[in-house]
Structure 1
Amino acid sequence: MSSASLATPDTDQQIDEEIRTYLQARLAEYAEQQGWLNPQISYKSNLLGSSRALAPCSKALQLARMDDGTELLERQRLQLTCPDAANWQIVSLVTPGVVLPVLVATEVTDRGTPLQPQRFELQPQDLSRLPRGFYQDADEISGQVAKRRIRSGQVLTPTLVAPALLVKRGQTVSMIARRGDIVASTTGTALEDGQMGQLIRVRNITSDTVIRAKVKAKGVVASQLP
């Protein structure tokens, strides 16, 4: 809410509406660039000088940003004028904020447990309190696991999420080797944990040799034939 408490109610409403319209337009552009879903703008404003003598303007107020900044979420110095009143002018220091619906845990998820969408729900959060990032879409966490214990009521951040292990150390895996159209397969023992696309050491059970192979699927690694 605006803190323009000295203005008359109609003038106060005009000032608030003009500032909000301006910020909403900036937010729509900024949100598209950032990929935010359903953001809501909020702001705090402080009028510089008295607005007590300002009568309601008969036309839409004109607004101009007076500082050199370009970012949406930084404090801004905004000048508002009435086009049909020569001396109608007020400056407001405005600090914008954004509220976003983000995924918040509704249950405890232990470390290493697959993330289940039903254990999270969208809740509105102040963006300034999300320095570690956030998720807005449960599809983004599909196939991932908890990197550490996630508490009920905790905002889900990238620091809490890790790709699922498709191969575990000591596990027997299928080894697929290719060279052109030639494909050979055998079994091996994983010597390291592996996520999708990672290179890990694998011992070929048949030849007892150790090679580096790429994790391709659950329990499957691939390499090139010599």
Structure 2
Amino acid sequence: MAQKEMLGTSLEGINPTYTYKVVLLGSTSVGKSSLAYRYVKNDFKESLPTVGCSFFTQTLNLEVATVKLEIWDTAGQEKYHSVCHLYYRGAHAALVIYDIANKETLNRAKLWLTDLEKEFLPDEIVIALVGNKLDLAAEREVTTEEGEEFARTKGLLFMETSAKSNHQVNDIFMAIAQELLQREQEKAHAPSPHGRSTVTLGESKARTGCCRL
């Protein structure tokens, strides 16, 4: 569950602040660090491979709440794979990232997803599949439809991004934040008569259409 504190914002009432841990997973060179740097600093930086883990923070002042994202950028090299679970333990959300111009990175992303499924109960964590490096569309090896279909079968958020051109970088983190807030609201209310799960509630907005937030 997210850390929560109450902050007075105006005479109209009190808005909550939620702090969420978000981990970035994927093979080396798929652009995890560049994606985080673009989102937090609004700049593009070609990064050397991450050693261990890097840490970023970003605050979103939304209408219903303030959301603080603690973004953990994990190393993608195979030699760090066995210890990466130490970094994503306790995470509220994960971005599983692949390079659209490198089919093998999607296969590796599927292995990261398997790791998450071992670590977390179903619906315990919000997961987004992210096809990065859309600026390399001319060299594409993974079609948008292939990424969408895999995300759909697993109940994941899905979006294609480019850290270099800043395409939909803010959108994917906003989709994560909105999904986390939606789950907070659902926990605060009694289950609906239809007994719909959080995955079902999010599907129409996020699974198939989050690219257009």
Q: Smaller-chain TM-score range?
A: under 0.3
Rg comparison, structure with higher value:
1
Q: TM-score, normalised by structure 2?
A: 0.23
Greater share of residues in helix:
2
Q: So what's the TM-score if we normalise by structure 1?
A: 0.22
Q: Higher relative CO (CA 8 A, sep ≥ 6), structure 1 or 2?
A: 2
